[in-house]
Amino acid sequence: MDKAFSPADIEPRIYRNWEASGYFAPSEHGPVYSIVIPPPNVTGTLHMGHAFQDTIMDALIRYHRMRGFDTLWQPGTDHAGIATQMVVERQLNAEGKKRVDIGRDAFVARVWQWKETSGGIIKNQMRRLGASVDWQRDMFTMDPALSQTVTEVFVRLYEQGLIYRGKRLVNWDPVLKTAVSDLEVVAEEESGSLWHLRYPLSDAEGFLVVATTRPETMLGDAAVAVHPDDERYRHLIGRKVRLPLAGRELPIIADAYVDPTFGSGCVKITPAHDFNDYEVGLRHKLPLINIMTLDASLNDNVPIAYRGLDRAAARARIVADLDALGLIERIEPHKLTVPRGDRSNAVLEPLLTDQWFVDIKPLAAPAIRAVEEGRVRFVPDNWSGVYFEWMHKIKDWCISRQLWWGHRIPAWYDPDGRWYVARSEAQARAVHGIDAAIPLRQDSDVLDTWFSSALWPFSTLGWPERTRALQTYYPTTVLVTGFDIIFFWVARMIMMGLKFTADVPFRAVYIHGLIRDQDGQKMSKTKGNVIDPLDIVDGISLEALLAKRTSGLMQPQMRTAIEKDTRRQFPQGIAAYGTDALRLCFARLATQSRDLRFDMARVEEYRNFCNKLWNAARYVLMNVEGQDVQMQGAEFSLADRWIQSRLAAMLARIESGFTDYRLDNVANALYEFTWHEFCDWYLELSKAVLQSESATAAGKLGARFTLISTLEKLLRALHPLAPFITEEIWQRVRLSAAAPGETIMRAAYPAAADVQTDAQAEPEMRWVMDFILGVRQIRGEMDIAPSRRLDVLLQNASPKDIEYLGRNLHYLSRLAGIEPPRVLAPGHTAPISAVALLGSLEILVPMAGLIEPTAELERLAKRLRKAELDLQKLDAKLSNGQFARNAPPDIVFKDQQRVAELRTEIGQLSAQTARVTKLKDQ
């Protein structure tokens, strides 16, 4: 084995072998454990969030696979309607072409082509990350089978009256020229103005003042509303005002929606361009006057002077004209929330259009119940609150999009505009008896991408067919996703799953946090702070990283800042850390926090960890290779029994970590055991046996057996988080360890219950360790060279101390660097020494020629201060009668014991201080 671990040489080779060997496929026996992947955008690339999420899922899958579950990790990609269409459209624009120029069919063909060329990128990234998905079952949301499922669901919902079509006010994106759902609207506070306009009364002198943030919509006004109880205006209700510029008459109506304390207490009502006004309009049967075109210019429903102006120009013109007529009372600065499209960032326009909707309430009710009854469990649980809040006030879902890329809506129109929803044109004709001579035209809209996503857990498993996969792996065990798509995706999957399979789509939803950069910023292309996970795996130079981050910027002015930041954060670029280090780092990051700060120092920490493991394996192999290592005839030492016991403790921690979806705890348990127990202690202790002339062959065999078997179990325990290095080492140790099987992937996960905990070894080992630590502390603080062997005296030794000492001299000698200690008889005066306390035992290191009395006095004073402080606190506690009366007896007992210990310690330290002081004064 090389002296240092180098991941680049082994990872791709190992993955190819796994995949070729078919290890990722479900075993088809044992209890079921299944996960469907949240499908990434087929034409996208994996970002840190994906890599994080994939690590979690892969760890869960590998763990359960090793524990004998029939595991399916269902992979796939999403067609991502708007996002993908925008990408291809931009490509076209770069060639000087436009979507409309080449036409729908050519455009869609082009998107498919782009999907073919770029679709492989993400899958290769997943392979590099070690994702053990069942590639044989790879799916795409627009595969023929899945598209058919989408149609089937649409038709069934329509037939049951749960999908309807109608002219409604929707959020319209005038740049993308499509409707979007409420969820795709981001509301941001911006500075604007509040215009106070004068609307003259029709039948009298004077006017009403209305305030508006959008004066251009006045041409679509249908009324002016006041509060029914507003004394100022009560007499005007039912009368009329004349709409300036247009000249129409508007009724003055009363509606409780109006807040009499805001502005003048009069509101212009524009039902076709405002959601609240739309509701008011419905209540008062007001006309819907649509004044805008699909690109948000004024249409022919406005006076000729304003036609064709876009909304900004129209606003300027209307304000100027009103001003000229003296109809502007005042303009004041005003903060308002502006709705923008989450993709285009364009200001959205509430616009009356024909759209398809899902009547969502009937679907929401059972979905709410499923979570209430615990059939779907959110982890952490507080996210169920977020879910309920949204579900209880859910509004109908606008599912039609005026795009070209996506699932076409299965509705056909006859020349009279009647529509027929069916699985195909032929079925539409057959069912509705439409003659072949009558032309039918399919609806040109496509469905919201999230419509097909909502079906993902069952569409990928073959629904509506009752396939074996569907019957076996549905409901899936757990959904792993981020909180940002609870509404978009999680809720809708629950609704659709319950509707079409009569069961929940998953039993648990594990909601993880969002990966942010080291400054806590959300990672985005615009900010130029994204990191490609593979650049951490393979490394990247500063130049290449800069080029990546600054190419194709939407906002070129950001370039300088991005460059500066990148140079600051990664002055040397990024080193190649390997997949395992990255994955371990992700696991450790997976706390329940909602914001997870990614820090390269953490990856480095785990790169070092991998190297540590690698070298531990080298040491183990060095000692077992060429040896006949078996349990028979072996004699197990204290250290051997102790490390087994610690292994059992670690495995128990891991088991609860997986049960609780706390991979951070899993990672920590593995790290602490591997580094601080196996390497720091056990390997060193084993040297005391293996490198000793006097150790017995049986003892050496025990150490060798323990080394190899512990390492082998540790590798299996680590495998779900660090698949590559564990496989690589495992292949090298499996023969010596007599491990069955040909891959660690399919080896059994070590169970805590199968490893011996040892109630005797633990305290004795604790004594050995504390002894060693005591001597080392004196060494460290007194600057005694490690090479200098020490003579040590023991005072006040109990029979137990003597017993332990007798059994463990070899450990003490090796790890503390001492000669066999001399046990002083009671009352025997010791030479002046530095002291370490182990319970009541005093470990004495004679100072002569080694230790400065002043230094030792400082050391003693420090210990004494600490002990006295602790004692003081405990004394106060124990002398409080309430404590003794109310606290549980075991706590009181523990504290009393501690007090006794502290008293002894203080006595010893004081006596020692006196002795050293005396020496110093001589």
Partner RNA sequence: GCGCGCUUAGCUCAGCGGUAGAGCAUCACCUUGACAUGGUGGGGGUCAGUGGUUCGAUCCCACUAGCGCGCACCA
E strands, 655-813, where? 793-795
Span 74-133, contacts to RNA by CB under 7 A? none
Kindly indicate which of the ranges 60-68, 105-113, 147-155, 386-394 contains the residues binding RNA, using the contact rule CB under 7 A: 386-394
Contacting RNA (CB under 7 A), which of 17, 193, 276, 293?
276
**How many degrees, rounded to 5, is the angle at CA 239 between CA 236 and CA 240?**
115
**Min CB(195)–RNA separation in Å:** 9
End-to-end CA distance of the chain: 59
Site string for RNA, 167-186 (x = CB under 7 A): ---------------xx---
Rank residues 152 and 781 by Cβ distance to RNA and give the closer one. Answer: 781
Contacting RNA (CB under 7 A), which of 9, 275, 361, 819?
275
Span 603-642, contacts to RNA by CB under 7 A? 605, 607-608, 610-612, 615-616, 618-619, 622
Q: Which residue has the tokens 């059939």?
A: 375
Contacting RNA (CB under 7 A), which of 591, 627, 756, 896?
591
Kindly indicate which of the ranges 12-20, 130-138, 385-393, 425-433 contains the residues binding RNA, using the contact rule CB under 7 A: 385-393
> Does 659 participate in binding RNA (rule CB under 7 A)?
no
Kindly indicate which of the ranges 307-315, 401-409, 646-654, 875-883 contains the residues binding RNA, using the contact rule CB under 7 A: 875-883
**Min CB(267)–RNA separation in Å:** 4
User: Contact, 417 vs 455, CB < 8 A?
Assistant: no
Rank residues 382 and 560 by Cβ distance to RNA and give the closer one. Answer: 382
Rank residues 61 and 670 by Cβ distance to RNA and give the closer one. Answer: 670
Span 734-793, contacts to RNA by CB under 7 A? 773, 776-777, 779-781, 783, 785-787
Contacting RNA (CB under 7 A), which of 83, 887, 899, 906?
887
**Min CB(208)–RNA separation in Å:** 12
Pairing mode, strands 506-512 and 377-379: parallel
The string of DSSP codes covering 405-459 is SSPBP-EEE-TTS-EEE-SSHHHHHHHHT--TTS--EE---EE-HHHHHTTHHHH
> Does 382 participate in binding RNA (rule CB under 7 A)?
yes
CA–CA gap between residue 256 and residue 283 (Å, rounded): 11
Contacting RNA (CB under 7 A), which of 895, 913, 915, 916?
895
- Residue 527: which residues within 8 A CB-CB, separation 6 or more? 521, 558, 562
The C-alpha torsion from 485 through 491 and 493 to 497, rounded to 10°, is 170
CA–CA gap between residue 583 and residue 44 (Å, rounded): 21
Rank residues 622 and 911 by Cβ distance to RNA and give the closer one. Answer: 622
**Min CB(781)–RNA separation in Å:** 5
Rank residues 688 and 745 by Cβ distance to RNA and give the closer one. Answer: 688
Nearest partner of 600 among 616, 633, 576, 625, judged by Cα? 576
- Residue 439: which residues within 8 A CB-CB, separation 6 or more? 414, 415
**Min CB(727)–RNA separation in Å:** 18
User: Environment class of residue 691 by beta-carbon count within 10 Å: exposed (0-12), middle (13-18) or buried (19+)?
Assistant: exposed
Rank residues 104 and 903 by Cβ distance to RNA and give the closer one. Answer: 903
Among left, alpha and beta (phi > 0; psi -120 to 50; other), residue 618 is alpha
**Min CB(410)–RNA separation in Å:** 29
User: Contact, 185 vs 339, CB < 8 A?
Assistant: yes
> Does 668 participate in binding RNA (rule CB under 7 A)?
yes
User: Contact, 915 vs 909, CB < 8 A?
Assistant: no
> Does 675 participate in binding RNA (rule CB under 7 A)?
yes
Span 222-261, contacts to RNA by CB under 7 A? 257-261
Kindly indicate which of the ranges 123-131, 489-497, 672-680, 695-703 contains the residues binding RNA, using the contact rule CB under 7 A: 672-680
**Min CB(185)–RNA separation in Å:** 7
Span 514-533, contacts to RNA by CB under 7 A? 518, 520
Span 291-320, contacts to RNA by CB under 7 A? none
Span 677-716, contacts to RNA by CB under 7 A? 679-680, 683-684, 687, 691
CA–CA gap between residue 749 and residue 30 (Å, rounded): 14
Kindly indicate which of the ranges 294-302, 388-396, 426-434, 547-555 contains the residues binding RNA, using the contact rule CB under 7 A: 388-396
Pairing mode, strands 70-74 and 32-36: parallel
Contacting RNA (CB under 7 A), which of 349, 448, 655, 664?
664
| SS3 category, 685 | helix
For residue 697, the tally of other CB atoms under 10 A from its CB is 10
Rank residues 412 and 586 by Cβ distance to RNA and give the closer one. Answer: 586
> Does 922 participate in binding RNA (rule CB under 7 A)?
no
Provide Rg for the chain, Cα atoms. 37
> Does 384 participate in binding RNA (rule CB under 7 A)?
no
**How many degrees, rounded to 5, is the angle at CA 194 between CA 190 and CA 198?**
160
Kindly indicate which of the ranges 34-42, 626-634, 676-684, 904-912 contains the residues binding RNA, using the contact rule CB under 7 A: 676-684
Instruction: Number of residues interacting with RNA: please give it, by CB under 7 A.
Output: 93
Rank residues 37 and 654 by Cβ distance to RNA and give the closer one. Answer: 654
Kindly indicate which of the ranges 12-20, 408-416, 452-460, 668-676 contains the residues binding RNA, using the contact rule CB under 7 A: 668-676
Span 467-506, contacts to RNA by CB under 7 A? 487
Kindly indicate which of the ranges 91-99, 491-499, 842-850, 874-882 contains the residues binding RNA, using the contact rule CB under 7 A: 874-882
> Does 390 participate in binding RNA (rule CB under 7 A)?
yes
Rank residues 474 and 570 by Cβ distance to RNA and give the closer one. Answer: 570
> Does 814 participate in binding RNA (rule CB under 7 A)?
no
| SS3 category, 170 | strand
The arrangement of strands across the sheet holding 185-200 comes to: 207-212, 185-200, 328-341
> Does 673 participate in binding RNA (rule CB under 7 A)?
no
Contacting RNA (CB under 7 A), which of 49, 244, 265, 281?
265
Span 184-223, contacts to RNA by CB under 7 A? 187, 189, 210-214
Contacting RNA (CB under 7 A), which of 337, 526, 872, 896?
337
CA–CA gap between residue 457 and residue 496 (Å, rounded): 10
Nearest partner of 718 among 660, 654, 640, judged by Cα? 654
The C-alpha torsion from 259 through 263 and 265 to 271, rounded to 10°, is -70
Rank residues 518 and 840 by Cβ distance to RNA and give the closer one. Answer: 518
Contacting RNA (CB under 7 A), which of 375, 432, 548, 898?
898
In our burial notation (b when 16+ CB lie closer than 10 A, e otherwise), range 552-578 reads eeeeeebeeebeebbeeebeebbebbb
Rank residues 413 and 675 by Cβ distance to RNA and give the closer one. Answer: 675
**Biggest alpha carbon–alpha carbon distance for the chain:** 123
Contacting RNA (CB under 7 A), which of 329, 599, 770, 791?
599
CA–CA gap between residue 106 and residue 103 (Å, rounded): 6
**Min CB(258)–RNA separation in Å:** 4
User: Contact, 822 vs 795, CB < 8 A?
Assistant: no
Span 833-862, contacts to RNA by CB under 7 A? 862
The C-alpha torsion from 196 through 197 and 198 to 201, rounded to 10°, is -110
